[in-house]
Amino acid sequence: MIDKQSPIPIYHQLEEQIKSKIEKGEYKPGDALPSEREYAEQLNISRMTVRQAITNLVNERYLHRIKGKGTFITEKKFEQNLNGLTSFTEDMKARGMTPSNKLISFEIVPAKKNLANHLNIAEHSPVYEVKRVRLAEDIPMALERTYISANLIKGLTDNIVQSSLYQYIENDLGLKIGRASQLFEATIANDEELEYLNIPENSPVLLMKRITQLDDGTPFEVVKSSYRADRYQFMLDLER
């Protein structure tokens, strides 16, 4: 309902109305929004006013416009809390979602100099090179390239990495994961990311590079994860 007598501007009332429909699930992610004309006629307000409300919601990313197609409800992003050292499997389960993996490759390769330095092993020592697409409810979320010290994390198989690496390290090998340092970078998806994440050309991705250590300080993995920027946002609690 629009109250024309209210001191609250009409475009603002309409914005709130659309937001509330999104929150209640009456408008679903991916749905097309009714046209400016429909709103204008139905609410008996000007198209300019409708346009103003829609533009504000596009700027706030509740809605997005697709050229030649119309205006759509934006998918809600997954919020990943960065305050703990968790695995993809744990993150998804904590949200009540079903994680799965698509294994692209699983190999043992000799560590190149840079990687060997990060893992604190001699150059050419064996490392597992694992490429996986990480999915939630069968939707690709991230492409992950993991390098794991093979002399430290023994007995890894392609079967294991199709479920959870961290679970294997802690539950089967009885090792304790201690800490990690993580770097973030915004990039445009490369060809591999486009293909495996099923996203259109020039899409942004969030690249995370993590080096993880066991609780005794030994680094065991170097990981590059490319997260879909349209699906993910990251949250950090900051204290002063």
50 or 156, CB closer to ligand GLP? Answer: 156
Q: Least distance (Å) from ligand GLP to the CB of residue 92?
A: 8
Does 164 bind ligand GLP (CB under 6 A)? Our answer is yes
User: Pick from 88, 106, 128, 147: which binds ligand GLP (CB under 6 A)?
Assistant: 88
The footprint of ligand GLP on this chain (CB under 6 A) covers a number of residues equal to: 14
Separation of alpha carbons 126 and 108, rounded Å: 6
Among all chains, which residue has been given the structure tokens 């065991």?
220
Q: Least distance (Å) from ligand GLP to the CB of residue 121?
A: 17
Q: Are 178 and 213 contacting, i.e. CB atoms less than 8 angstroms apart?
A: yes
193 or 221, CB closer to ligand GLP? Answer: 221
User: Six-digit token pair at 92?
Assistant: 């998804």
Q: Are 73 and 29 contacting, i.e. CB atoms less than 8 angstroms apart?
A: yes
Separation of alpha carbons 58 and 66, rounded Å: 11
Give the 3-state secondary structure of residue 69.
Answer: coil
Does 225 bind ligand GLP (CB under 6 A)? Our answer is yes
User: Pick from 10, 165, 199, 205: which binds ligand GLP (CB under 6 A)?
Assistant: 165
Does 213 bind ligand GLP (CB under 6 A)? Our answer is no
Q: Are 15 and 27 contacting, i.e. CB atoms less than 8 angstroms apart?
A: no
Closest to 140 measured CA to CA, from 222, 74, 75, 199: 199
Classify residue 165 by burial, with Cβ atoms within 10 Å: 0-12, 13-18, 19+: buried
Q: Least distance (Å) from ligand GLP to the CB of residue 238?
A: 21
User: Pick from 13, 49, 100, 146: which binds ligand GLP (CB under 6 A)?
Assistant: 146
72 or 232, CB closer to ligand GLP? Answer: 232
Classify residue 67 by burial, with Cβ atoms within 10 Å: 0-12, 13-18, 19+: exposed
170 or 230, CB closer to ligand GLP? Answer: 170
Return the range that interacts with ligand GLP (CB under 6 A); candidates 5-13, 46-54, 113-121, 220-228: 220-228
CB atoms within 10 A of CB 73: 19
Does 89 bind ligand GLP (CB under 6 A)? Our answer is yes
User: Six-digit token pair at 222?
Assistant: 């170097």
22 or 197, CB closer to ligand GLP? Answer: 197
Residue ranges in 48-87 that form contacts with ligand GLP under rule CB under 6 A: 87
Q: Site residues (CB under 6 A) for ligand GLP?
A: 87-89, 144, 146, 164-167, 210, 212, 221, 223, 225
